[in-house]
Amino acid sequence: MKLLSTKATCNSHGQDSSYFLGWQEYEKNPYDHVQNPKGIIQMGLAENQLSFDLLESWLAKNQDVGGFKRDGKSIFRELALFQDYHGLPSFKKALVDFMAEIRGNKVTFDPNHIVLTAGATSANETLMFCLAEKGEAFLLPTPYYPGFDRDLKWRTGVEIVPIQCTSSNNFQMTESALQQAHEDAKKKNLKVKGVLVTNPSNPLGTTMSKNELNLLIDFIKDKNMHLISDEIYSGTVFTSPNFVSVMEILNERTDKDFLDANVSERVHIVYSLSKDLGLPGFRVGAIYSDNETVVAAATKMSSFGLVSSQTQYLLSAMLGDKKFTRNYLSENQKRLKKRQKMLVNGLQKAGISCLKTNNAGLFCWVDMRNLLTSDTFEAEMDLWKKILYEVGLNISPGSSCHCTEPGWFRVCFANMSEDTLNLAMKRLKDFVSNSNGEEGSNSDNKRTRSSQSSRSFTRKSISNWVFRLSSRDHHEQEER
């Protein structure tokens, strides 16, 4: 071990989380309606599988593109050879046009200001390297995506300071919470370089209002810092209020103080096709910035995680088909809305509610506080283990998302069939019914091995065990 680096042997990857443990347990015992009908149903994966038929239909109608042909002639050799890490101009143009379309064409994007990356994970880490030094900090509103502890911190050495948001106002960010987080960082002798938000939010499944976005803009203007808006879920908004990009806010601000401060050069957008198109395996992400120095530095760094030329060629044709993209976005949003309603109704039948402002994303922020034996995170972990091992559902505890209130969970709905979702809701309803009045009466039906595993876990053993899985983490993460 002495021959290895500190990075290779340290426990700072972010794997020490119930979020990742649930993934591991699912992989040991995955549900299959034929082969393993009592297995664990994966509801911890924010993956969009609802509109693959639309993508496959387009590919079937455009076989030349899928076969890497142009005007009937093969361009395989052209695509197989080395490509400049600035990316294919045709793809960058198609991507920025698609981003504008998602935003109702209220804003436009300059393809010269976009940097291609291997997913949003790479984009966020690259921005950390560009904007902060090791030991400096970014503020993030809670609850936030568990993978940020890995993406933002592990290799960069940047720290995260939470902006504490609560259910009292549906977890919206407030000025007092922002200021308190900044004070907390100062007390820890941390220099704050910026704020990172996800809009729409992961895990809340909500969009930020213009008031919240203007609050953020004013905050970074006054504090002379950066803002990163991770807008990876921007095309998944399925009901009102509509999505408002930070770019729209920047275009609306004409006050002299704002213009004099060059705030637009300190606002950066992260995007990916992993969620809106359901293509996490294609590894297509992007940074958009009006800061020329950031764009130049990020472009150089992108050489460590390029998007293949074949992928860019295929997607430039797909995204360039405006008739297809219009139909896809509309139909995908309808399907997301229907599926979200199915989850909400199923939970309601079990006596469980969701965050009422949920209007986006591939998940719901679910309130299970009424099922806790006490108002503690220990009780949340006990409930989570029962749902994982006894009910056979992998969901993500709020504590893994740094939520300050025990009893909230993120539950995904777009990565499974309707039949599987209905089965998951039936399992949960039966569990709640048994917990409320018939606890113990169905013990013969519980999976003996899973129950024993559940009883054997403590918070410490979870931490130690999950770290040992880090070498396999590429199978156990939500690809962005």
Q: For residues 208 and 175, is the Cβ–Cβ distance under 8 A?
A: no
| pLDDT at 451 exceeding the cut of 80 | no
Question: Per the residue annotation, which of 275, 385, 386, 429 is the catalytic one?
Answer: 275
110 phi, psi to nearest 5 deg: -90, 120
Kindly report whether the peptide bond that precedes residue 143 is cis, defined as omega within 30 degrees of 0. Answer: yes
Instruction: Supply the pLDDT for residue 16.
Output: 63
Q: Where are the beta strands (DSSP E) in 299-381?
A: 353-354, 363-367
232 included as an active-site residue? yes
Separation between Cα atoms, residue 427 and residue 423, nearest integer Å: 6
What is the pLDDT at residue 440?
Answer: 46
Say which of 19, 31, 145, 271 is annotated catalytic: 145
Q: Where are the domains of the chain?
A: 6-53+333-475, 68-324
Cis peptide before 241 (omega within 30 of 0): yes
Active site residue 257: no
pLDDT average, residue stretch 122-133: 96
pLDDT (tens digit per residue) in 58-81: 999 998 888 888 888 888 888 888
What is the Cα–Cα distance from 340 to 328, expressed in whole angstroms? 18
Architecture of the domain made up of 68-324: 3-Layer(aba) Sandwich (3.40)
Rounded to an integer, what is the distance from CA 135 to the centroid of its chain?
Answer: 25
Rounded (10°) angle between helices 459-467 and 18-28? 70
Active site residue 338: no
Q: Return d(Cα 173, Cα 165) in angstroms, integer.
A: 6
Cα distance between residue 213 and residue 209, in whole Å: 6
In 10 A of CB 79, how many CB atoms? 18
pLDDT tens track for 353-362: 999 999 999 9
Q: What is the DSSP string of 246-292?
A: HHHHHHH---HHHHHTTGGGGEEEEEESTTTS--GGG--EEEEES-H
304-308-312 Cα angle (round to 5): 125
Per-residue pLDDT, averaged over 406-418, amounts to 96
Asked if 230 is an active-site residue, the reply is: yes
Fold of 6-53+333-475: Aspartate Aminotransferase, domain 1 (3.90.1150)
Catalytic site residue from 232, 287, 352, 387: 232
State the pLDDT confidence band at 84, using cuts at 50, 70 and 90. Answer: confident
The overall average pLDDT reported for the chain is 89
Dmax (CA) for the chain in angstroms is 71
DSSP H or E segment with residue 126: helix 119-131
**pLDDT given at position 47:** 94
Q: How far apart are CA 473 and CA 13, in angstroms?
A: 10
3-class secondary-structure state, position 469: coil
Position 1 scores a pLDDT of 60
List, for residues 187-229, the tens digit of each pLDDT value: 999 999 999 999 999 999 999 999 999 999 999 999 999 999 9
Q: Name the catalytic one among 230, 276, 290, 367.
A: 230
Distance between CA atoms of 374 and 192, rounded to whole angstroms? 36
Task: Give the range among 179-183, 257-261, 353-357, 361-365 with minimum mean pLDDT.
Answer: 257-261
pLDDT above 50 (res 437) = yes
Q: End-to-end CA distance of the chain, in Å?
A: 32
